[in-house]
Structure 1
Amino acid sequence: MERTRPDSGAAWRVGQLADLTGVTVRTLRHYDQTGLLRPSTQTAGGHRLYDHANVVRLYRILALRRLRFSLAEIRSLLDDPDWDLASMVARHAAETDRDLAAAARLSTHLRAINGEIARTGAASPEHLFSIMEEMTMLDTPIRSTTTLLVYDNLTDAHAYLTSTFGLTAGPLEVGPDGRAVHGELFAGDQAIWLHPSGDGYRSPRELGGVSSMVVIGVDDADAHYAYAVEHGAAILNAPVDQPYGVREYGTRDLEGHLWYFHSPLG
C-alpha cells in the first residue's frame, strides 16, 4: 500500500490509525483521554484526526513501552525537549538485533540437539542448558501487567487507595467537565489504572458482586494490616497463615473491590 509522505499534510482517523499500526481503537481513545496522545484536530463531524506529529508520538509511546519504561516514565519522557527520533530508532534497532541474535542462537542449539538425539537417543545437559538460557532471553514480548479497576468516583477512589492501603499515587486526569476520567496508582512497579463507570463498565457496588480481586505482596502482612485498620479499611479477615506459604488478610474498598495483602511465611 502506498504511504503518504510526512510533508503532504495527511491526516488519519482513529480507525485508520488503528488499522495501520495494530494499536486498538480502544487504546488510542484511552491515550486521548489521558493526554498521552491527543489528536491534532477534528473533522466538522467530530471525528478525531491524527497528523504526522501524532504518528511520531505514538511510535515513541510504543517504543518506550517495548524498552520497558513504566507509564509514569513515558509520561515525562514524551515532552522531553532533548528527545531525538534518531536516537530512539537506534536504541529500538539495537534491542531488535539482540532479540534476533538470541533467536538465531536458539535455532542453532535446537538443530544441534536434534542431531544429537538422532545419533544417541538423548540430549546432553550442556545442550539443554544452552537452549533454556536462550529461551529465557527470548521468553515473551510481554513485560508487565496493568490492573484496571472501575469506580463511580475516581477522585474518592484515588484518595482512598492511596491513604488506606499506602499505594503510590500516580496522576489523576480530569476532563473538561471537572470529572476525573483516568487515575493511576502503583504497587511497587506494577500499575493500577482507575476507570470511570459507564459505557459498559460498572463497579462492584453497582453490580452487587465481584468477579475478580487484587492480590498484593507486602513486606509484613501484619504491619500493613495495622496500617489499613488505622486508616479505616473495611476488613474481611485478619492476617492468617495460608497453606500456600503466605500470611494474608483481606479487605474491601469503598466501592466493593476485593483486596488481599500477603507476605511470605518464614
Structure 2
Amino acid sequence: MPSEKHTTLNEYRVIRRNGQLSRFDVNKIAIAMTKAFLAVEGDTATASNRIQNAVHSLTNQVIKGISRHENTVPIEDIQDQVELALMRAGFHKVARAYVLYREEHAHLRAEKHEKTVIYVTDSTGQRRPLDEKHLRAQVIEACADLVDVNAEHIFDESLKNIFDGISERDVKHTLVMTTRTFIEKEPNYTYVAARLLLDQLRSEALNFVNQGAHYYPDYFKIYIKCGIEHELLEPQLAKFDLDKLSYLKTIRRQIVWLIPSSNCQKRIRPLSKRG
C-alpha cells in the first residue's frame, strides 16, 4: 500500500455522513480502488503488479486532491477525488464500477436513513443542536441582491463540512471557506464570502445582539471617519447622513454599502497607498 507523503495527513479527520469524525486512513482509499479494479478485471488481477502500481499512483493523486482542505474532509470529497483520478488516468470502466458501487450504497443508506442531530459547542462549552434553519437564513441573507449566486448550494456544501461537536466559531468559518470554493466559477461569490466574514467578525466583537444594537451606531460613524482619514474609504461617504444610516433597522444594509458591488466603479484604496 502507498506510504509516502502521508505522514502529514495523520491529523486529518474524515467527516462521515452522520456528522461524526473518524481518523483518516489512506489505506481505505487504496482498498476501495483495488476492489473497483477487481470488479472489472476479476479476482485473478489481485497479484498484478500493474494494478498495484496504478493504485499506488492514483492514491497519491487523490491525496493531492484533498490536501486543499484544512483539518477535516467530507467523505464525499474523498470519493469524488477517487472518481476524478480514475477518469483522468483513462480507467473509465473502473471509474464506472466505482460509481455503481457508490450508487448502490447510497440506495441502501436511503432505505434506512435517519436524520442525525449535529451538536454545536458554544463559547461556554455547552452543546446544542445545530440550527439549520438559522444557518440557511444567514446564507440567504448574505446572497441578497447578488446575481448568479446560489444560497442552497452554499448551504448544502457547508453542511458536508460541519461535524458533531464543532464550535460556533468554526461553523461561521465553514460558511466562509465553503463560499470561497465557488469564487472561481462566479466572482460574485466574493461578496457573499465577505458578508459572511463580516458576520463572523461582528459576532466575535459583539457577543450579544443587544450590545451590537447599542454600540454599533457610534462605531459606524467612527469607522467611516477613520477610514477616510487613512485614505481607505472615499471621502464622499462622509456626505451621507451617518446618524440615519447607523440607525437603520438592519445593520447589514449599512455594511453592504461598503462592499463593492459588481457595478461599482469607485475603488477603495489599498493599505500600501496610505499617505
Same fold per superposition (TM over 0.5)? no
TM bin, normalised by shorter chain, reads under 0.3
Comparing both chains, which one has the higher relative contact order based on Cα–Cα distances under 8 Å and sequence gaps of 6 or more?
A: 2
Normalising to structure 2: TM-score of the pair? 0.24
Normalising to structure 1: TM-score of the pair? 0.24
Question: Which of the two has greater strand per residue?
Answer: 1
Question: Which of the two has greater helix per residue?
Answer: 2
